[in-house]
Each structure stands twice: as structure tokens, then as C-alpha cells.
Amino acid sequence: MSTWKLCSSLAAPMEAFIALRRASGTDYRSGAQLLRYFDRYLVHARLNPLRLTREITDRYQETLARLAPLTRASRLCVLKQFGEYLARNDPLTYVPESPFGPSLHTVHTPYIFSLSQVQALLKAASLLPQPGSLRPQTYVTLLGLLYSTGVRIGEACALRLENFHASEQRLYIAAGKFHKARWVALSESSCRAVERYVERRLCQQPCAPDSSLFINGRRTHLHHDNVNRTFHRLLRQAGIPRHRDTRPRIHDLRHTFAVHRLLEWYRDGIDVNARLPWLATYMGHVAIHSTQVYLHATPELIEHVEGRFHRYYLQHVNSLGGTQS
């Protein structure tokens, strides 16, 4: 998909603002993209403002009602920054209020999928339309990869064929969050699944090393919005219910990966605290506190934690009793 070229009546100051942000040392690709959405809105709505006004900002905000709260807030936050930039030279510019508030931190409670639900999702993906096409295998492999590695959906969609190293059983995430690159080790079964997909994927163009690993029916890279719509369809087909009035998100597979990883460590009797730095690095986090956001107290996890504490307590009591005798 070609990048939208700024062409509204505010295109020139937008370009100057983006250039200024990049000159400060930031990449600002995501911010620029969010401004392009506003520019596209102005063009499609046939609006030609000379400055940012409250009326236009409010009308634009109404078009964002269908988006998730944090997504909507991100778009308005960039618009606020742009308004502040314009207000330096035009005091009549309307500067939107900050869209971020304390309630945004509790907007969505992550949904932790059970193993049977993950299997149901993969089964539904294998039955997607266009039987015999690459699409069913694309979504089976994509969802399996998200669950088994915890990579972000944006990272998965950005993967290139050359980023998969079958002989070393690992992926190279070149476009991680905040542009941090990292290696992600694959289990033997995950590596085989990706290998099978790549073998079939190479039968379709483009197949150059730098072409997208996951492609759609038009043979271009997958887009987050389309993947999201397909994922919600798969949730319905897999019989996975709404969660607190909202559908589980595809990002919840990353939360599920972290929780299930902890469960495996508890089952294997491994020192979880010692392994948390490993998990943080694997998930692309700089510090453990970022990883802790993904560690949710499910009933099964609590059961394992209580069991380990109980065993430790009994051993401690017995050792004290032996000393006293």
C-alpha cells in the first residue's frame, strides 16, 4: 500500500512540523502516520481550513469513535502536538486538550486464552475462505507464531523472508518497538511450522529475500487493520465469548504467551524470579517492570504459586523442627 501524500490545506505546516520532530533526533514515523490520517480526513471531508479550529477537531474526533480508546487518544495526542506547533505563529489556533487521562490505564483487561481456545482459533484459521490458497496457512502460522513467541503483531507483519533463519531456529525482529532489533528463538515445532509455510510461500511472488514473510491475497504485506478484522471473525467461529463487553484483542496472545511461559516454569520447578530477566529480553523489554504488565494472576497460575509457597513453608517448618530437636 502506497504511503498517503500530504495534500490538504494544512499539508505544508504538517510537513514542516514532521521535519522539525525528525530534526530533533526522533524517527517520528508513527507520529507522521497519525498526522496523515488527519490530513486524509480533511481531504475526504472537503475541508480547507487555514488553521486548526475546535469545530474541525471535534468533527475529526467523532470519526474516531469506532477505534479503541488508546488508539483514538494517540491520534488526538499527535493532533495536540501539531496544534501547539501552529499556535507559536498563529494565536488563533485551537489546541486540543490532552486526550490522556487516568482511566486509559484501565481500559482493557487482557484476555488470557486457554490452550484449547488457542487450538480452536488455529482450527478456525485453517478453514478460512479461499481453500487451497495461501491465506488459511498464513493465518494459522501467524497466530501460532504470536502465541508461541509473544512477538507483537506489528513485528510479525513487518517480518521479511530473510528474517527467518531455519538452520538456527530463530527470527530476527528488525522493526521492534522503539526501533529496537532483537533475535527471537523458536521451538522446534514452531520452526517446523514456519518452515512449512515458507516452503509454500516461496511459490508465490514476490519471493526476494527482502519481501514480506506474511502476505495477503494481493501478495503485499499484511496490514494490522485487516488482520484485526479477520481475528475477530475467527473469535466468533471459535466460540470465544466477549470479555467484559469487549472482544479479546490479538495483542492478548502476547499476554497469553507470558502467562503460559510462567506456568511452564512453575510446573517444571524452575526459579521463576531468576528467569524473569530472560523473559523480558525475549519479549523485547528493557526492564522487568515492562514485562510484569503481562504477568496476570490467572486461577491456574495462583494455584501453582500457592502450591510452591506451601511446599516451601513445610520444608522451612520441618527444618526448624529438626534444629530444635
pLDDT in tens, 83-115: 999 998 888 999 988 765 544 444 568 899 999
Q: Please report which confidence band the pLDDT of residue 305 belongs to, taking 50, 70 and 90 as the band edges.
A: low
Question: Domain for residue 182, yes or no?
Answer: yes
Domain shared by 236 and 282, yes or no? yes
Domain shared by 157 and 44, yes or no? no
249 with 108: CB under 8 angstroms? yes
Per-residue pLDDT, averaged over 127-135, amounts to 91
Q: What is the DSSP-derived secondary structure letter of residue 243?
A: B
Question: Domain for residue 6, yes or no?
Answer: no
Per-residue pLDDT, averaged over 153-173, amounts to 95
CA distance 223 to 242: 24
Q: Please report which confidence band the pLDDT of residue 40 belongs to, taking 50, 70 and 90 as the band edges.
A: very high
Side by side, the strands of the sheet bearing 170-173 are: 164-165, 170-173, 182-185
What is the per-residue pLDDT for 103?
44
Domain shared by 131 and 215, yes or no? yes
Domain shared by 126 and 91, yes or no? no
46 with 65: CB under 8 angstroms? no
Domain shared by 227 and 292, yes or no? yes
What is the per-residue pLDDT for 323?
46
What is the per-residue pLDDT for 156?
95
Query: Amino acid letter at 313?
Result: Y
Question: Domain for residue 5, yes or no?
Answer: no
Domain shared by 117 and 253, yes or no? yes
237 with 123: CB under 8 angstroms? no
Of 77, 106, 135, which closes a domain?
106
CA separation (Å) from 101 to 38, 74, 77? 22, 12, 11
Domain shared by 118 and 34, yes or no? no
Average pLDDT of the residues of the chain:
85
What is the per-residue pLDDT for 1?
41
Domain shared by 101 and 130, yes or no? no
Please return the burial class of 199, using the count of CB atoms within 10 Å of its CB with bins 0-12, 13-18 and 19+: exposed
Domain shared by 144 and 251, yes or no? yes
Question: Domain for residue 304, yes or no?
Answer: yes
Of 49, 78, 106, which closes a domain?
106
Q: Please report which confidence band the pLDDT of residue 196 belongs to, taking 50, 70 and 90 as the band edges.
A: very high
* Lowest-confidence segment of 181-190, 256-265, 274-283, 292-301 by average pLDDT: 292-301
CA distance 15 to 29: 12
Of 106, 131, 147, which closes a domain?
106
Residue 319 cell numbers, joined: 527444618
CA distance 53 to 90: 11
The percent of residues in the chain predicted with pLDDT above 90, rounded, is 56
CA separation (Å) from 144 to 161, 189, 200? 17, 10, 17
Q: Please report which confidence band the pLDDT of residue 279 belongs to, taking 50, 70 and 90 as the band edges.
A: confident
Per-residue pLDDT, averaged over 253-281, amounts to 86
Residue range of the domain that includes 202: 112-325
Domain shared by 212 and 255, yes or no? yes
Number of domains in the chain: 2
CATH number at residue 164: 1.10.443.10
The percent of residues in the chain predicted with pLDDT above 70, rounded, is 82
Q: Which helix (H) or strand (E) holds 172?
A: strand 170-173
Q: Please report which confidence band the pLDDT of residue 310 belongs to, taking 50, 70 and 90 as the band edges.
A: very low
Domain shared by 159 and 77, yes or no? no
The pair phi, psi for residue 184, each rounded to 5°, is: -125, 115
Half-sphere CA count of 130, side-chain side, radius 13 A: 10
Query: Model confidence over 290-299: pLDDT tens digits?
Result: 676 777 766 6
What is the per-residue pLDDT for 181?
87
Q: Please report which confidence band the pLDDT of residue 195 belongs to, taking 50, 70 and 90 as the band edges.
A: very high
Domain shared by 86 and 56, yes or no? yes
